[in-house]
Amino acid sequence: MKTAAMEKVLTDGIATNDKARVTAQMSILAKDQLYIDVDKSLRETQKKLRQEQAQLEFLHNQFKSYLIIARMLSEAK
């Protein structure tokens, strides 16, 4: 989708520099409902992934803490 939009920008010759090309590309994509839906889905998936990664890190740290406590208790005996 992005590539097709950029090809249209380049073939139409409406943009003369990189910033203008990207702006024109985003303008085209902003009107493409499929792109909008896919982009929204991607953002939601990325958000969920970040939440799951945070949960995994929390559980990993909790597990490491339990191992340290277990080691301390076994060495105290």
Three-state SS string over the chain comes to CHHHHHHHHHHHCCCCCHHHHHHHHHHHHCCCHHHHHHHHHHHHHHHHHHHHHHHHHHHHHHHHHHHHHHHHHHHHC
Check: pTM over 0.85? Answer yes or no.
Answer: no
76 and 50 together in one domain: yes
Q: Are residues 75 and 48 in the same domain?
A: yes
Looking at residue 57, its pLDDT comes to 98
Q: 14-73 pLDDT, tens per residue? A: 778 889 999 999 999 999 999 999 999 999 999 999 999 999 999 999 999 999 999 999
- Claim to verify: residue 27 and residue 3 sit in the same structural domain: yes
Q: Considering its fold, how many domains does the chain have in total?
A: 2
Residue span of the structural domain in which 46 resides: 39-77
Same domain, 19 and 53: no
- 72 and 43 within one domain: yes
- Residue 43 and residue 16 in one domain: no
